[in-house]
Amino acid sequence: MRKASTKLADGRELFYYDACGSDARSAVDQRVLSPITVASEIRYDRLLGDSVAVAPHRQDRTYHPPSDHCPFCPSRDGQPSEIPDGDYAVAVFENRFPSLVGESGRCEIVCFTSDHHASFADLTEEQASLVVEAWTDRTAELAKLPEIQQVFCYENRGAEIGVTLDHPHGQIYGYPFVTPHTTFMLRSAAEHRRKTGRNLFDDVVASERDEGTRVVWEGDSWIAFVPYAAHWPYEVHLYPRRRVRDLRELDDDARVEFPRVYLELLRRFDRLFGASASPTPYISALHQAPFTKAGDTDMEAEFALHLELFTIRRAADKLKFFAGSEAGVGVFVNDVLPEAAAAQLRKVASN
């Protein structure tokens, strides 16, 4: 991998990730941009015990621009964008409309390809590997910042999910606290360790492998399954067979196999509802262990890197909404039997 860095016109950082041997990048951002003025803050909810990022400046963020004014396309034909170069493989840059900034954290955009009309599933294994290398590098770099306690890489795909920019991209959040989702998992892992003396994540993966009916893919280094208590209509969890805390700890074999299985899962999601349906909307969430600057705690060592991929689509013409029970009291109601979802995901496997 070859990495190059530059500054955008307003001082934000941008990083290019290319295959080894690629030409050096030297394009300069020619735009005239005012410095970023943000009002992001973290507010603690005393009733729920979690934190909320309040970012009113995001009301003015770019919203469904026409494709010829996409800010994530390369700068071409007199149309400057967030990416000064005329082409790129993978680009990562600070979000101009961040939810988190400064002592409140950091938000970065990851553009997977310069092709506006592609999706992650359209990438080759080599291209997807470069995205994984970018995720890994940014995890390592953000971990050095004193205010960051957890790095979260994710992608939202589809207008149904709420995506406002069509270009294939994801985001990386550096949180100044441990997120509620991770806190819940760590709490469950601590209780499981106290009761059994074993690791919860290891036991979940082992039970899914032994039971078998919800496994949708298994390779030498990774296993993918629909969880027993899936929250979403079609939901897949992807785990490395050797437990690690984050992307930095993957061995070479797991790093090579990851893009292959991830692309296969994304392509299966796009085949779930037939050719007549629009591309499947999904959220892909890569969960990594939190970290402290003073060293690892026992609970951080318990955590397992894993990816959760899910869609809100429950049928070709039906969506699963985050409605009263889910939004009001946090109790999910799943309309699709997890075992049936797993069977369907196996059925649409690549030949």
297 — pLDDT class (breaks 50, 70, 90): low
Indicate whether 293 pLDDT > 60: no
Answer for the pair 36, 102: CB distance below 8 angstroms, yes or no: no
Whether the Cβ atoms of residue 245 and residue 289 lie closer than 8 Å to each other:
yes
Length of the chain, in residues: 351
| 202 shares a domain with 119 | no
Whether residues 127 and 271 share a domain: the answer is no
117 and 204 housed in the same domain: no
100 has a pLDDT exceeding 70: yes
Last residue of a domain, one of 175, 195, 223: 175
pTM above 0.75, yes or no: yes
What local confidence, expressed as pLDDT, does residue 295 receive? 53
Q: Are residues 321 and 334 in the same domain?
A: yes
Q: DSSP secondary structure string, 207-265?
A: HHHHH-TTEEEE-SSEEEE--TT-SSSEEEEEEESS--SSGGG--HHHHHHHHHHHHHH
Task: Answer yes or no: is pLDDT of 258 > 90.
Answer: yes
Q: How many domains does the chain have?
A: 2
Domain end (from 155, 175, 195): 175
Are 157 and 271 part of one and the same domain?
no
User: What pLDDT digit, counting tens, does each position of 131-157 carry?
Assistant: 999 999 999 999 999 999 999 999 999
The model's confidence at residue 275, banded by pLDDT at 50, 70 and 90, is: confident
Q: What CATH code is carried by the domain that includes residue 324?
A: 3.30.428.10
pLDDT of residue 278: 86
In this structure, the answer to whether residues 201 and 264 fall within a common structural domain is yes
Predicted pLDDT of residue 329: 95
State whether 139 and 205 are in the same domain: no
The whole-number pLDDT of residue 25 equals 85
Beta strand spans in the chain (E) = 2-7, 13-18, 41-45, 50-54, 90-94, 106-111, 150-157, 169-175, 215-218, 222-225, 234-240, 282-287, 306-311, 313-315, 318-319
Q: Which residues are catalytic?
A: 169
If asked whether residues 85 and 116 sit together in one domain, one would say yes
- Which two tokens mark 249? 């700890």
User: Are residue 163 and residue 189 in the same domain, yes or no?
Assistant: no
Q: What is the pLDDT of residue 68?
A: 87
The tokens describing 293, both together, are: 């600057």
Please report where in the chains the tokens 């840059």 appear, as a residue. 93
- Residue 126 shares a structural domain with residue 203: no
Nearest partner of 135 among 96, 172, 174, 94, judged by Cα: 172
Split at pLDDT 50, 70, 90, the class of 300 is confident
* pLDDT for residue 146: 92
Domain extent for 14: 2-175
Domain boundary among 152, 175, 198: 175
Q: Is 125 in a helix, a strand, or coil? A: helix
Same domain flag for 164 and 186:
no
Q: Which helix (H) or strand (E) holds 329?
A: helix 329-329
Pair (217, 83) in one structural domain: no
Rounded mean pLDDT of 67-81? Answer: 92
